[in-house]
Structure 1
Amino acid sequence: MQHITDFNPWLPDTQQVSPAREGGNGQIHQPGQFQNVIWQTRARVPDGFETALVAALEEIFEQGAEELEQIVSALNQRRLFDRSGQPWNEAAFREFLHVNGF
């Protein structure tokens, strides 16, 4: 039995500032060349910031937040700021989601 990793090692690191305009044709799967791994769209394991953000967002949604303003406010109240340590605003959070695909 082969070990299955929790990310797709053949994907390029997508830590780019702006999202790509085209898909990664040939990057996710090339028939017959790679094992079909479970985490097809993940080039790496999420880091601590991403894991904390996802956990906080789950709690925020469970508490009933639905609007972007509520989500941003709740993140800032938890002091879970952006990667540079700055409080979130709606535009910055929207851009983060657009680039990172969450």
Structure 2
Amino acid sequence: MTEYNPKLATWFRNEPNSEAGINNIQVPGQAQNIVWQTRHREPSRYEEALVEHLEAVFATGVVELDDLVAALNARGSRTEAAALWSTDSFQAEMARLGY
């Protein structure tokens, strides 16, 4: 199974791609089902670890941003630059990652 959509990687630019869709007509019943349609690459180890921490924190019932940030820091989760989380850095990271 492919862990990301390889066609998205070539389309992941700030300007429109003039080739998007060319040679991509899908014949019913013959189209490849890509499980990760919206990924342009595999997640990094940092991203996977962040998801694990977020799932664990949300499982405890935390729903407020300040509490979430405090819980991430308490669990030892850090930013990609190894800094403690703040509400601003968390929101910026979620915007960067597209969540």
Larger radius of gyration: 2
How much has 1:70 moved relative to structure 2? 0.8
After TM superposition, give the deviation of residue 35 of structure 1 in Å. Answer: 4.1
Q: Partners of 1:26 and 1:72 in 2: how far apart?
A: 39
Matched, 1:26 2:20: yes
Normalising by structure 1, what TM-score? 0.73
Give me the whole-angstrom Cα distance separating, in 2, the residues matched to 1:26 and 1:61.
38
Gaps of 5+ in 1: none
Equivalent pairs: percent with the same residue? Answer: 34
Which of 78, 84, 89 is the equivalent residue of 1:87?
A: 84
Q: Which has the higher contact order (CA 8 A, sep 6+)?
A: 1
Unaligned runs of 5+ in 2: none
Segments of 4+ in structure 1 off by > 6 A?
none
Query: How many residue pairs are counted as aligned between the two chains?
Result: 91
Q: CA RMSD in A?
A: 2.9
Q: Report deviation, 1:74.
A: 0.7
TM-score by length of 2: 0.75
Residue of structure 2 equivalent to 1:59:
56
